[in-house]
Amino acid sequence: VGDAQDRPAFFTSKIGARIMKLRGYWYTRHSVCSSRVKWLCAESRHKQCHAIVVTIGSMTVDRQNKHTHPPLLNATRQTDFDFLQLLDSKDRLMSS
């Protein structure tokens, strides 16, 4: 049993994009193949970060976490992430 930081949390951005938070880092959905979802670090363009995570449902199955920047632990603030506006917990995406 891992701690809560090891479990991804899924959200929807204000423009309807799927986003994920894992261990203080934010990821955007890059591709879907069958039930596997590949997530890129949200800072991949801005900070040239190549970290990726692959999930199946809410389970992390692969992680390449060599980030080029520290985690944005308080990234829900508008000044940290302009594109991110987290919805209420009732709107959180639930995986089966």
Q: Mind listing the pLDDT tens digit for each residue in 64-96? A: 878 988 887 655 544 444 444 443 333 333 333
Average pLDDT over residues 36-64: 88
pLDDT at 78: 44
pLDDT digits (tens, 9 = 90+) for 22-47: 888 889 999 999 999 999 998 887 78
Query: Which segment of 6-15, 18-27, 51-60, 82-91 scores lowest on mean pLDDT?
Result: 82-91
Contact 53, 62 (CB under 8 A): yes
pLDDT at 86: 41
pLDDT at 52: 93
Q: Domains plus CATH for the chain?
A: 4-70 (2.20.25.240)
Please choose, from the candidates 73, 95, 68, 88, the residue with its C-alpha nearest in 3D space to the C-alpha of residue 14.
88
What are the backbone dihedrals phi and psi of residue 85, each rounded to the nearest 5 degrees, phi first?
Answer: -140, 100
